[in-house]
């Protein structure tokens, strides 16, 4: 049986070179499925799946909306790490195996009895709910298939499930599906939705226009196509919006393997078979960050953008950029392959056409000048003189329309040449507010009268053109705006601001990011000599707000020797809490999603009596105290 199964997989692997009896040097069958191993399971997440801030590191295995299912050690070994936190992986177990790999089991409801006792003792010893423990080698040995805990929904989990990872000896995550667990079925090919084409520089065009354009794919038999040939010129980036579906579940998972061909020539190839944690931030340039912020769709770029350091692009000599010259023909095929080898093809044609100053495709002008990479795009109604004037540090410069549809003129300006402060149209003018060009991979400081920005060597993926403003917003509040949150940051920017408005007791004000004005997000900051210093890791708008309201504590009656509370804070958010009984530290477990904390004694037989005190602090330094004689 075993041999024939491998022989079959071997046949499949000729075309995708991934399904072998071994994966990353590990035998298939080494690991047992960690939950409900006697039945078919379903996934709500796959390894490598594109998430907002990272590539998903493992499988999210559904647990039928329930908690408390037995979780099994996938192979023999010993527990090498246990962590407990209100966010992230919640209650989590790491098992080290003799072959050098580690398996990870996250969002658990409970640890196995022996582990639970060890965790509780350590929480009391460290007087902290949050712990990250590394038991000595072989202290907690496990056999393959041994129960290690119960599945749950702890940490940053959006519903009951088991998050399961396999990491190799280099601590890179592997794709567990490539071990071909019989508990997961997938014979459904990936489902492409849209492709996008993007001009990669100022001279490139798509259907006569500059910019990024999305096209809805149409199904034709087993393939997805664009019925019309696209015309293009210059350097073009292709992107795809697609998902993989597995049998029996509606969830949209990731697609690990994508190959793009221009006729016979391989243009781009990715295979997300391992991910390094240190490279997770590259998700922001592996996907189109700007498009996602603007329209909510997460496209996989099929080209390797500047600053991208991911290693899973197989053919490093191809950057994926399609080079289109006049009259050239490009039959493009995109092959999407899931971890089980199911394949789907997307086909479309691109034809080279020299750029022209007329396009017969309607131009939809934006309300404001628009930056795409290094190019500034401006729009004006067609008029008698068809030019605009850029105000540059060196004086004014006239710019002719790049192209027109007869109603709207499009003007393009290469920001690498010079940063314009203003643009004058046929009627009226517009302040552009470019203050600075910041190259990637170098330290850079930018000073103005009332604020400064400091960029580190690893702050940026690529050159950024800063458009910043410090003033008073429409709502009468302080406003510091540094670009829009459409450019990804790799690291953080240090800012220093001298407020323009008067504040009594300035120290009680903190910086909040207000990209969404309805949800101010606490940034913090430290005051010194009338200035506030803070760091941020996404562009956008910042203001100063005062949180002088302490957190609320709602007492829930003692049940079964356990005291519990609902704790909430309205603006800055909960920072910490601490409970005591008769002056001794008392563990309170924290379920952040439900704003719930509840006590757990080291000695559970000891009755919960005495002087109880709870202190809850928010990030702005406000404290609420609750006392009770139990
Ligand atoms: Zn997960």
Q: What is the mean pLDDT of residues 98-116?
A: 98
What was the pLDDT predicted at 2? 30
pLDDT digit string, tens, across residues 110-124 = 999 999 999 999 999
Q: What is the rounded CA–CA span in Å between residue 424 and residue 388?
A: 6
Q: How far is the CA of 223 from the centre of ligand 1 (A)?
A: 31
Q: Give the chain's end-to-end CA distance (angstroms, integer).
A: 64
10 Å Cβ neighbour count for 139?
A: 11
Q: How far is the CA of 106 from the centre of ligand 1 (A)?
A: 8
Q: How far is the CA of 561 from the centre of ligand 1 (A)?
A: 34
SS3 9: helix
Q: How far is the CA of 94 from the centre of ligand 1 (A)?
A: 14
Q: How far is the CA of 64 from the centre of ligand 1 (A)?
A: 16
What was the pLDDT predicted at 344? 98
* Residue whose token pair is 């729009």: 379
pLDDT digit string, tens, across residues 564-575 = 999 999 999 999
Q: How far is the CA of 105 from the centre of ligand 1 (A)?
A: 10
Asked if pLDDT for residue 10 goes beyond 50, the answer is no
Output phi, psi for 508, to 5 deg.
Answer: -85, 5
What are the start-end ranges of the H helices in 281-382?
A: 283-286, 289-295
What was the pLDDT predicted at 12? 39
Q: How far is the CA of 60 from the centre of ligand 1 (A)?
A: 5
Q: What is the rounded CA–CA span in Å between residue 563 and residue 138?
A: 36
Q: How far is the CA of 51 from the centre of ligand 1 (A)?
A: 10
Range from 317-326, 359-368, 465-474, 493-502 carrying the lowest mean pLDDT: 359-368
Output phi, psi for 532, to 5 deg.
Answer: -115, 130
Band (365; pLDDT cuts 50, 70, 90):
confident
Band (596; pLDDT cuts 50, 70, 90):
very high
Q: How far is the CA of 14 from the centre of ligand 1 (A)?
A: 31
The tokens describing 518, both together, are 């309805």
Asked if pLDDT for residue 504 goes beyond 90, the answer is no
What was the pLDDT predicted at 11? 37
Range from 103-107, 343-347, 403-407 carrying the lowest mean pLDDT: 403-407
What was the pLDDT predicted at 316? 59
SS3 7: helix
Asked if pLDDT for residue 19 goes beyond 60, the answer is no
Angstrom distances, CA of residue 570 to CA of 2, 552, 556, 595: 59, 9, 20, 12
Q: How far is the CA of 160 from the centre of ligand 1 (A)?
A: 11
Band (13; pLDDT cuts 50, 70, 90):
very low
What are the start-end ranges of the H helices in 489-573?
A: none
Q: What is the mean pLDDT of residues 350-357?
A: 95
What was the pLDDT predicted at 315? 66
Q: How far is the CA of 57 from the centre of ligand 1 (A)?
A: 7
DSSP 10-22: HHHHHHHS---SE
Mean pLDDT over all residues of the chain?
93
Q: What is the rounded CA–CA span in Å between residue 347 and residue 460?
A: 35
What was the pLDDT predicted at 558? 82
What was the pLDDT predicted at 366? 85
Q: How far is the CA of 90 from the centre of ligand 1 (A)?
A: 11
All residues with CB under 5 Å from ion ligand 1: 45, 60, 163
pLDDT digit string, tens, across residues 137-159 = 999 999 999 999 999 999 999 99
Q: How far is the CA of 590 from the centre of ligand 1 (A)?
A: 20
Residue 118 makes CB contacts below 8 A (sequence gap 6+) with 82, 133, 135, 140
What was the pLDDT predicted at 233? 98
Angstrom distances, CA of residue 474 to CA of 420, 478, 479, 498: 25, 9, 9, 19
pLDDT digit string, tens, across residues 438-492 = 999 889 998 999 999 999 999 999 999 999 999 999 999 999 999 999 999 999 9
């Amino acid at each position: 049986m075993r041999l024939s199964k491998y022989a079959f997989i071997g046949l499949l692997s000729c075309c995708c070179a991934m399904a072998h009896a071994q994966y990353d040097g590990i035998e298939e069958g080494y690991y047992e499925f960690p939950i409900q191993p006697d039945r078919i399971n379903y996934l709500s997440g796959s390894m490598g799946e594109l998430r907002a801030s990272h590539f998903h590191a493992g499988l999210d295995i559904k647990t039928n909306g329930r908690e408390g299912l037995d979780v099994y050690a996938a192979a023999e070994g010993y527990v090498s790490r246990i962590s407990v936190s209100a966010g992230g992986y919640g209650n989590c177990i790491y098992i080290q195996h003799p072959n050098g790999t580690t398996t990870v089991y996250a969002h658990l409801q409970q640890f196995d009895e022996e582990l639970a006792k060890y965790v509780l003792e350590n929480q009391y010893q460290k007087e902290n709910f949050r712990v990250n423990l590394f038991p000595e080698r072989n202290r907690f040995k496990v056999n393959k298939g041994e129960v290690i805990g119960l599945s749950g929904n702890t940490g940053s989990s959006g519903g009951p499930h088991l998050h399961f990872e396999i990491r190799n000896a280099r601590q890179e995550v592997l794709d567990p599906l490539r071990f071909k667990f019989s508990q997961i079925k997938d014979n459904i090919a990936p489902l492409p939705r849209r492709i996008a084409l993007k001009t990669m520089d100022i001279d490139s065009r798509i259907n006569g226009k500059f910019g990024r354009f999305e096209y809805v794919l149409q199904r034709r038999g087993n393939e997805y196509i664009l019925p019309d040939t696209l015309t293009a010129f210059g350097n073009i980036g292709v992107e795809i919006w697609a998902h993989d579906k597995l049998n029996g579940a509606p969830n949209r998972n990731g697609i690990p393997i994508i190959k793009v061909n221009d006729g016979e020539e391989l243009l781009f190839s990715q295979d997300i078979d391992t991910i390094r944690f240190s490279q997770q931030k590259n998700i922001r340039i592996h996907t189109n960050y700007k498009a996602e912020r603007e329209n909510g769709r997460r496209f996989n770029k099929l080209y390797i953008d500047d600053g991208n350091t991911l290693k899973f692009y197989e053919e490093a000599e191809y950057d994926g950029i399609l080079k289109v010259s006049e009259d050239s023909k490009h039959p493009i095929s995109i092959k999407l392959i899931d971890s089980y080898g199911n394949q789907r093809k997307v086909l479309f044609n691109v034809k080279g056409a020299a750029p022209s100053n007329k396009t017969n495709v309607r131009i939809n002008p934006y309300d404001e000048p628009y930056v795409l990479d290094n190019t500034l795009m401006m729009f004006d109604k067609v008029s008698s003189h068809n030019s605009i004037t850029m105000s540059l540090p060196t004086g004014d410069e006239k710019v002719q329309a790049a192209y027109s549809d007869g109603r709207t003129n499009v003007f393009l300006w290469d920001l690498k040449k010079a940063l314009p402060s203003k643009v004058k149209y046929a009627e009226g003018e517009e302040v552009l507010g470019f203050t600075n060009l910041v190259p990637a991979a170098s330290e850079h400081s930018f000073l103005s009268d009332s604020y400064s920005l400091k960029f580190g060597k690893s702050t940026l993926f690529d050159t950024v053109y800063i458009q910043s403003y410090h003033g008073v917003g429409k709502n009468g509040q302080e406003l510091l705006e540094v670009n829009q949150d459409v450019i990804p940051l790799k690291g953080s920017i240090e800012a220093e601001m001298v407020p323009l408005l008067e504040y009594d007791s300035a120290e009680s004000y903190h910086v909040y990011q207000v990209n969404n004005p309805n949800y101010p997000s606490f940034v913090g900051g430290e005051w010194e000599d009338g200035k506030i210093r803070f760091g941020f890791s996404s562009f956008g708008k910042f203001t100063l707000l005062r949180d002088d309201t302490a957190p609320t504590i709602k007492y829930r009656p003692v049940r079964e020797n356990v005291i519990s509370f609902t704790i909430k804070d309205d603006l800055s958010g909960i920072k910490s809490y601490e409970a005591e009984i008769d002056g001794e530290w008392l563990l309170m477990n924290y379920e952040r999603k439900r704003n719930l904390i509840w006590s757990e004694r080291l000695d559970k037989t000891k009755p919960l009596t005495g002087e109880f005190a709870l202190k809850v602090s928010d990030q702005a330094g406000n404290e609420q105290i609750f006392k009770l004689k139990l």
